[in-house]
Structure 1
Amino acid sequence: MNPAESFGRGGLNPYLDVDDLVDDIGLDEDEIAWRKDFIGFDGADERRLSDLEPLLRANREQIADDFYDNLLAYEGTREVIDRSPKGVEALKRTQQAYLVSLATGDYDRAYFKNRARIGKLHELLDMPLKHYVGQYGVYYDLIMSRLNERVQDQVVDAIEEWAEERDAERDDGGFGRLAGALGLGGDDGEDDGLDDSFEETVRSAIDDGMMDVLSLLRIINLDLQVATDTYVDSYAQRLEDAIERRERLAREVEADVQKPIDELHEASAVVARRAEAISTHAASQADSIDRAATDVGEVSAAVEEVASVADEVHDESQRTESLAADGVDAADEALAELEAIETAVDDVSTAVSSLEERTDEIDEVVDRLDDLARRTTLLAKNAMIEASRGSGGSEATGALEVIANEVGSFAEQTQSDLKAIESAVESVRADAAATIETTDETVERVDAGTERIRDTVDSLEAIHESARSTAAGMDDVAAATDQQAHSIESIADSIDDLSEAADRVAEAAESVAAASQEQTASLRDVGESVDRLTSDGEPDRTPMYEQVQ
């Protein structure tokens, strides 16, 4: 495809209305004429540009390649190129077409309309204005190097033409002509400087070349003006849209905020009243805390007293533990003695039982002796009877009488002794019975005492363990009491701090109340400001160049 045919056929064109664009920037025939006149662009420039067409056409490919090589070397411009619907080669062809169009245009409204479209396409690609304007600097470097060569060639051609014209007038050859033109080698040896015609020729050639440069710079400047207008128009449109959004938002904010501001105003008044109440309560709290601090001080003293008593109880508990231990030892000894007494009582009971058996045996002997005494008595009586029958006084009768008397006396004495023995045995039996009864009672009492002593021992052991636990507990109580005393002291310190904090809270509450009142006033001002947000009239329409100045 011919580069000129691809110029202006990018994929973004359907999204662009060029007629509306040129109308927005005011690019009519009069405006175009004014701009041309302002920078001195006229028909002579158009002719010079037309003469530059062969140069631009011949160098368009190299210039386009060098131009995009420079753009692709920077990340910012490379990102813009990546956003273009065209590829790099297509963009190069478009650039070639644009370069040739600089020398082939009619420079009328259609020409600048096309330039406006190009500028807008760059803006649609989000190319920053500094990139768009900056790329013309690249253009200057690439084009001016070619124009420099052209100017140099024009100067050389002009010198050669001047030399040919002088050939007809002088015969000293080319070197002589050049030396003479430079004021060298005169016959009189004088240096008259450059030949006037030579100097004029060189200056004219350079001037002609510079005018070509100026014509190219003027058309590029006009292009740049139009492209910049599209950026400014876009910025102005964005600004107008932003102003419109601000005004719409202001109206919405006014509608949305008015009620909350009224409610906030009322709430602020309530807060102020409550802040005053808080201040009052805080002051009352500070007083209560002061009283609490006093009470805590008294409690602290009481705790110290409890700690002291706990120490005393601990000492007494240790003494109780010692006495209980001694009681356990004594009870163990008493229990041992009771066990010995019980053993002795058992022995007494056994002896009494044996004595009772012997008494029974004595009773049997007494019974036998009593029977013998009765028989002896009966024998004595019979002897006396026999003695009385033999009263003849014989010697045998006398002896029998004596025997009878002795036997009777023995029998009487025996009966008397038996009665005494029987009486003694009865007494022994009675005493033995009493002893047995007493022994039984003693055994029962010893048994009961033994059980009680065992219970006492168990109780004393329990008391001993309890006293030991009590002593250990009192150690814990003493330690806990000491800790409690320290804690209460810390609490007292904290309450003092809290009291000071309550005082500060009271002061802060007073400040809050004052600030809330100020907030109420500020909210009133905010409401008024919101009212003014949409009632100040038209937005600022100051031209951009006046804003910059």
Structure 2
Amino acid sequence: MQPEETFGNGGLNGTFDVDDLVDRIGLDDGELAWRKEFIGFDSADERRLADLEPLLRDNREAIADDFYDNVLQYERTQTIVNRSPKGTDALKQTQQAYLVSLATGPYDQDFFANRARIGKLHELLDMPLHQYVGQYGVYYELLLSRLNERVQQQVVDAIIEWADEREAEAEESAGGLGRVVNALGFGRHTAEQGAETGAESGAGDNDGDATQTALEESFETTVREAIDDGMLDVLSLLRLLNLDMQIAVDTYVDADAQRLEDEIDRRAALAREVESDVQAPLADLHTAGETVAHRAESISDQTETQATHIESAARELDDVSDAADEIAHAADAARAESARTERLAADGVDAADEALDELGAIEDATDRVAADMDALADRIEAIDDLVDRLDDLTQRTSVLAANAKIESARATGDSGAGAGTGNSSETMGIIASEVRSFAQQTKTDLADIARAAEAIREDAAAAVETTEETVDRVDTGTDRVRRTIDSLEEIHESAQTTTARMDEVAAAADQQVAGVESTAQTLADLSESANEVASSAASVAAASEEQTASLRTVRDSVDRLTDEVETGVDASQPDRSV
């Protein structure tokens, strides 16, 4: 089987419709004519490509082998080649047929439809576009190296032809022209003929110089024309390969467009589904967003109020802290005062004990006074008895005096009886007078003694009564002192308990101060946190408002997307006219 017969008969050709592909990329006769005109590809290029057929046919196997040697040395391209249902030998035969087809034409719609089919096959093998286009660089090196040899050979042939023509003219003119040809090394004269020709041309040097200049220009023109002709062959081949590349790229773009259209259709269906599925949730979310925004605003307001209350509480805690400090100081002072009270109570207990001892001594003295008063009463009774006896004696003395007076009077009445009797009567009278006077004085003294004894009795009775009252008061005072001692002891114990409890109060006050300070710091932190929460809540409210607006925008975008998809408006569709 010839390579031309295997070209385009791969297993992937049945997976797509070439005619449909050509229609999609717009590859009609008018488009092909415009593209050819745009890059300058015309019938002259077709003739030049036809002239290249022998070169391409003769070198097709070497070019195909070199091409796949280059492709298979890279892992990426080798992976793609391995995806082809054709083996490497079959691919090389296809490559050979492709090379020959570049020169055989005809360059009509069928030719370029075949080029579109080739590009599609590479796209189906998932060859990246940059690799496909990069293969043309390999072609350029493989083809242009052969064309370079051809152009060089064409230049050599043109020079030989020019030299033969100049030699023929030199033989006709046998002048300076022969010298120019021989000087360029293209003449066929011997060295001796050149020498003879040079000797004979001495007279016409000026004419020879002009002729030589004309020959050099003719030679340069010949060389340039040969090079230009070869480069035009190269240009014709490059123009055809450019058309080939354009159409291959179109197949890739068409595949991308097909995928894009499929994706657009899929997204259109998805957009409709999304619109159907999202409308209700979006509405709910919109409502929820508004609710969240309102609640966030409420939270922000409440948080600000909370922050205000917390600040107020912090200030009150500062006052409490100050009060706690004062309580601590007062507790310290009370503890000191309690200690002093404890000391005073202890001193009071000691003083009460001493007073109780003194009261015991007073009670003993009172008992002694009572005993003395009892003895005094006994003595007063003895005095009363004595006074009674003296009073009795006074009575008897008075009686005796009365009797003596009577006797004296009687004696005086009997005075005439004798002198001796008269003296005796006088004496008796004096005695009687003295006795009476003694009796009267004794009576008076006894009365004074009785009054004094009565006064003593009364004073003694008052003293006894006072002593008894004193004893009662001493007893009462003793009881009171005992009760005072008991109270002082209780006060002492209470003072000790109070001191201990005041120590506890002081410690609790210190702990309270520390707790209040910690609570104040916590409240300060909480206030700062509340401010941050308020700020965050405000941000949440703003974000919720933005979210609501964004949801509204999303809903509008979904509606617009659905409308655009349904009306066929798609700004992402590429413009193939560019």
Question: What's the TM-score, normalizing by structure 1?
Answer: 0.61
| RMSD of equivalent CA atoms | 4.4
List per-residue Cα deviations over 1:348-369 (Å, max 9, x = no partner): xxxxxxxxxxxxxxxxxxxxxx
Structure-2 change in CA distance of 1:228 and 1:510 (3 Å): closer
Partner secondary structure for residue 41 of structure 1: coil
Partner secondary structure for residue 523 of structure 1: helix
* Pairing 1:229–2:250 present: yes
- Alpha-carbon offset, residue 71 of structure 1: 3.4
- Alpha-carbon offset, residue 123 of structure 1: 1.7
Structure 1 segment 148-547 matched on structure 2, within 5 A: 148-171=148-171, 177-179=181-183, 187=201, 188-189=204-205, 190-192=208-210, 193-195=213-215, 198-290=219-311, 292-293=313-314, 296-297=317-318, 300=321, 485-506=513-534, 508-510=536-538, 512-513=540-541, 516-517=544-545, 519-536=547-564, 537-540=567-570, 544=574
8 A Cα contact 2:163 2:186, kept in partner: no
In the alignment, which residue of structure 2 is the partner of 1:139? 139
2:222 and 2:527 map into 1 onto residues whose CA distance is: 105
Partner secondary structure for residue 191 of structure 1: helix
- Alpha-carbon offset, residue 182 of structure 1: 8.9
1:11 and 1:314 map into 2 onto residues whose CA distance is: 110
2:286 and 2:292 map into 1 onto residues whose CA distance is: 10
1:487 and 1:9 map into 2 onto residues whose CA distance is: 94
- Alpha-carbon offset, residue 297 of structure 1: 4.5
Structure-2 change in CA distance of 1:503 and 1:44 (3 Å): closer
2:58 and 2:178 map into 1 onto residues whose CA distance is: 33
2:100 and 2:240 map into 1 onto residues whose CA distance is: 12
Percent identical residues: 63
1:474 and 1:82 map into 2 onto residues whose CA distance is: 99
- Alpha-carbon offset, residue 7 of structure 1: 2.5
Structure-2 change in CA distance of 1:310 and 1:31 (3 Å): same
List per-residue Cα deviations over 1:376-423 (Å, max 9, x = no partner): xxxxxxxxxxxxxxxxxxxxxxxxxxxxxxxxxxxxxxxxxxxxxxxx
In the alignment, which residue of structure 2 is the partner of 1:95? 95
- Alpha-carbon offset, residue 204 of structure 1: 4.0
- Alpha-carbon offset, residue 304 of structure 1: 6.0
In the alignment, which residue of structure 2 is the partner of 1:344? none
1:49 and 1:208 map into 2 onto residues whose CA distance is: 12
8 A Cα contact 1:71 1:77, kept in partner: yes
- Alpha-carbon offset, residue 202 of structure 1: 3.5
* Pairing 1:106–2:106 present: yes
For 1:531, the aligned partner's letter is D
Structure-2 change in CA distance of 1:39 and 1:310 (3 Å): same
1:22 and 1:127 map into 2 onto residues whose CA distance is: 20
In the alignment, which residue of structure 2 is the partner of 1:401? none
- Alpha-carbon offset, residue 25 of structure 1: 1.4
2:182 and 2:505 map into 1 onto residues whose CA distance is: 129
Structure-2 change in CA distance of 1:82 and 1:191 (3 Å): farther
- Alpha-carbon offset, residue 515 of structure 1: 5.1
Structure-2 change in CA distance of 1:139 and 1:502 (3 Å): same
8 A Cα contact 2:170 2:178, kept in partner: no
Ranges in structure 1 where 5+ consecutive residues have no aligned partner? 319-466
For 2:237, the aligned partner's letter is L
2:282 and 2:185 map into 1 onto residues whose CA distance is: 92
Ranges in structure 2 where 5+ consecutive residues have no aligned partner? 188-193, 340-495
8 A Cα contact 1:163 1:174, kept in partner: no
- Alpha-carbon offset, residue 263 of structure 1: 1.0
